[in-house]
Amino acid sequence: AELCRRLETEEEKVLPFYPSSLGEMEQQKARMVLEETASEPLARVMKDYIGLEKFWQRFNKAKLEEKGLEKARAALADRNQELRRLLQQYLVGATIHKKVPKDPHPL
């Protein structure tokens, strides 16, 4: 995290995480559970990795942004194809219009 700090945007430095969706009572219960000494081996090992919680929050935020950008890119690509199709139709119509004689009654 310290090495990546220089790569953070200003927004991430000021407000790095989303606010918690837990209520006050739920947050207190979560803190109490984290402060308890674990009896199971897996729970004791997991306490060593609590520091990675912020990393995973950032990772997941980046993944969500990536998915959002992929959807936006796909939508823009579709829009681009539609505009190209409309332009092609316009150009075909413009070339046909030039072939029509300007004087409808030559006689």
pLDDT along the chain (107 residues), means of 10: 73 62 75 72 73 78 93 98 94 71 54
Compute the distance between CA of residue 27 and CA of residue 45 in angstroms, rounded to an integer.
22
Q: What is the pTM of this model?
A: 0.51
Q: 2 in a domain, yes or no?
A: yes
Q: 24 in a domain, yes or no?
A: yes
Compute the distance between CA of residue 34 and CA of residue 38 in angstroms, rounded to an integer.
9
Q: Which amino acid is at 19?
A: P
Q: Containing domain of residue 30, as a range?
A: 1-70
Q: 76 in a domain, yes or no?
A: no
54 Cβ neighbours under 8 A, 6+ residues apart: 1, 16, 17
Q: What is the pLDDT of residue 107?
A: 46
Q: What is the pLDDT of residue 1?
A: 66
Domain count, the chain: 1
